[in-house]
A and B are shown apart, each in its own frame.
Chain A
Amino acid sequence: MKMSILHDVDLPPRDRIVKRRWNWMLWTGFVCVLVGIFSYQFFIRFPVTRDFPWVNLLLLAFGAVLLALGLVRAFGQPQNYRGKIFGSIFAALGLLGIAFFCYLTFVVLKQVPASASAPSIGNKAPEFTLPDQNGHSVSLVDLLATQNTRAAVLIFYRGHW
Chain B
Amino acid sequence: MRSFQEHLGELDRRGIRVLAISVDSADINAAHANKMHYTFPLLSDANAATIRRYNVLHPGAGPHKEDIARPAEFLIDKGGIVRWRNLTENLAVRARPDEVLAAFDAAIDGTTSSP
* Residue of chain A at shortest CB distance from B23: A159
Say yes or no: B17 contacts A143, CB within 8 Å: yes
Say yes or no: A112 contacts B77, CB within 8 Å: no
Expressed in whole angstroms, the Cα–Cα distance for A16 and B57 within the complex equals 72
Q: How far is the CB of B109 from chain A (nearest CB, A)?
A: 8
Expressed in whole angstroms, the Cα–Cα distance for A118 and B19 within the complex equals 17
Expressed in whole angstroms, the Cα–Cα distance for A155 and B70 within the complex equals 10
* Contacts A112-B91, A130-B43, A133-B29 given; does A153 touch B71 at CB 8 Å: no
Say yes or no: B90 contacts A112, CB within 8 Å: yes
* Contacts A144-B78, A150-B14 given; does A112 touch B71 at CB 8 Å: yes
Partner of B93, one of A44, A136, A138: A44
Query: Looking at chain B's contact residues, is the secondary structure mostly helix, strand, loop, or mixed?
Result: mixed
Contact size range, B: 35 or more
Closest 8 CB pairs of A and B: A150-B15, A132-B41, A130-B43, A133-B29, A159-B22, A156-B69, A128-B50, A133-B30
- A selection of 7 A-B contacts at a CB cut-off of 8 Å is A110-B91, A111-B61, A115-B57, A136-B41, A154-B74, A156-B74, A157-B69
Name B's A-contacting residues (CB within 8 A): 1, 4, 11, 14-24, 26, 28-30, 32-33, 38, 41-45, 49-51, 53-59, 61-63, 68-85, 87-96, 100, 104, 107-109, 112
